[in-house]
Every structure is written in C-alpha cells, then in structure tokens.
Amino acid sequence: MLKMITVDVGNTGVHFAWVKNHRIVRSVLLPTARATPASIASVLSRDKESALYVCSVVPRVTTLFRKLARRVYIIGEDITVPIVSLYNKKHIGMDRLVSVYGARAIYPQTRLVIDFGTAITFDFLSRANVYEGGLILPGIGSTLRVLSSCALLPRRITLRFTQTSIPRDTPQSINKGIIEGFSVMVNGLVKKYRKFLHIRNDAPIVVTGGDARSILSKLDFSYAYEPQLIMKGLILLAK
C-alpha cells in the first residue's frame, strides 16, 4: 500500500495531502507566512512515519522541510522531474514542471497548462513533450487584495458575480472588472497561442489553481479542470 504525504509550498499557502493507494484522503492548508518548525510539526504530528514529497518555490520553507528528522524528498534536488526543459534553470519553479508533467501524464496530448494561483501562469509543451516556457501574469486573488486595500471601503471585498452591466459602486466595479477583465485576457491569450504554436482544438487545455473557479464559466475554450494537479504530479513522481 502506497502511503505518503505530498506537500505543495507556494507563495501564499503550504498544502499538505495525505495519500493512500494513490488517492488523497486528507488535506491541510497552512499559510506560508505562518510556516515555522512548530507549525509544520503540528500539522505532521498525526503521522510521523510517512515519507514527504515536497514541491517548493519558497527557499525559506524548503529549508524547514529539509531539516525534518524523517524521510523528505525535495523535488528538483532529490527527485528530478523527467521532462526536458528549455526554461532558464535558475528561474524555473518546480511547481510549473510538476504541473506540466502531471498534465501530460493524465492527458497525453496536452500542450498548454494554465495555473490560477498567486500568479497566473501559462506553460507550453511541444508535441515531443519538451517544456518550452510560458507566461507569468498577475493573479486573481492577488489583484483583488491589492484593489481592496486601496479602495475606500469599510471591509474586504469578496469576489462574486454581478449581473450589472455598468456597476455604480466600488465593490461591484472591482468584481466586474476582475471577472470580466481576467476572462477576456485569458481567452485572448489562449486564442493567440493556439494559433502561434499550432495547438489543435482537440488538444486538452488543463486548468488548475483555486482561483480558476471564479472565471471558469467565462472561459470560451474547452478545458479539463484539475484542482489537485500538482499533488497528482507528485504522486506520479513518487511512484
């Protein structure tokens, strides 16, 4: 029986997932800013034996996991993602490589992976399974936090759909601007790069990241939504 813990360390959150027989049975989210030896030990206190497979883009937190007195495998150090990459090796985040690796394993014809996280990333694969690079754009949640902090509002704005075509208050204006603006931008970029890279219409576009939910209904292309894509990629790497 395969039993392990996969960990996705992002700029905003540290996601823990307990895996048994290749299936996620439990998950915990720890804010990255609160990641300390004590908080990590508390999350892991119920399971002191399972090996950890860690994908991290935050060096400070990577060091905390490396110092744990247990089996810890760091992606990019202890485990290499088996995919040829044309991206600058000093700049590539392991989360992007794990995502495209997992997407291609699940959907063999994948040429484009879009991750709606702290930033929105577009990652492109060649027909020969070479990682060609991609785009980094402002994230939906990040943009909402910035606009909420700058606006003269009594409380933080929650992202939600509004039927109003032309909003007449600030919360609705921000909501409409983010949902309409990001969906138009993403749809336009997908159309452009599909043509530029000769990506067939039946080649699946894999979408991941929690912030994607806010604009999924506005996307005008067919997609496969995989919210646990990095965790699935880590499970495949562990195998």
Residues of the domain holding 103: 90-227
- pLDDT at site 2: 67
- pLDDT at site 79: 95
- 129 and 95 in a single domain? The answer is yes
Do the domain assignments include residue 84?
no
pTM for this structure? Answer: 0.91
The count of structural domains within the chain is 2
Do the domain assignments include residue 237?
no
- pLDDT at site 208: 97
Mind listing the pLDDT tens digit of every residue in the chain (239 residues)?
568 999 999 999 999 999 998 899 999 999 999 999 999 999 999 898 999 999 999 999 999 999 999 999 999 999 999 999 999 999 999 999 999 999 999 999 999 999 999 999 999 999 999 999 999 999 998 898 888 877 667 667 777 777 778 888 888 888 888 999 999 999 999 999 999 999 998 899 999 998 999 999 999 999 999 999 999 999 999 98
- 208 and 97 in a single domain? The answer is yes
Do the domain assignments include residue 190?
yes
Do the domain assignments include residue 17?
yes
Among residues 20, 47, 79, the one where a domain terminates is: 79
Residue 218's nearest CA partner among 164, 177, 178, 180 is 180
- 102 and 201 in a single domain? The answer is yes
100 within 8 A of 122, measured Cβ to Cβ: no
- 75 and 114 in a single domain? The answer is no
- 159 and 75 in a single domain? The answer is no
Do the domain assignments include residue 158?
yes
Cα separation, 102 vs 229, in Å, equals 6
Report the largest interatomic distance among the alpha carbons of the chain, rounded to a whole angstrom: 57
Among residues 79, 100, 123, the one where a domain terminates is: 79
- 99 and 31 in a single domain? The answer is no
- 202 and 137 in a single domain? The answer is yes
Cα separation, 94 vs 8, in Å, equals 10
Secondary-structure percent of the chain, ordered helix, strand, coil, rounded to 5: 35, 25, 35
- 73 and 151 in a single domain? The answer is no
Write phi, then psi, for 204 (nearest 5 degrees).
-65, 135
Ordered DSSP codes for 87-143: S-TTT--HHHHHHHHHHHHHSTT--EEEEESSEEEEEEE-TTSEEEEEEEEE-HHHH
CATH of the domain at 26: 3.30.420.40
- pLDDT at site 33: 96
Do the domain assignments include residue 234?
no
Do the domain assignments include residue 103?
yes
Cα end-to-end span (Å), the chain: 12
Do the domain assignments include residue 232?
no
- 129 and 60 in a single domain? The answer is no
- 108 and 181 in a single domain? The answer is yes
- 68 and 111 in a single domain? The answer is no
Helix/strand/coil (H, E, C) string of 129-183?
CEEEEEEEEECHHHHHHHHHHHCCCCCCCCCCCCCCCCCCCHHHHHHHHHHHHHH
Among residues 79, 103, 132, the one where a domain terminates is: 79
- 123 and 165 in a single domain? The answer is yes
Cα separation, 207 vs 157, in Å, equals 25
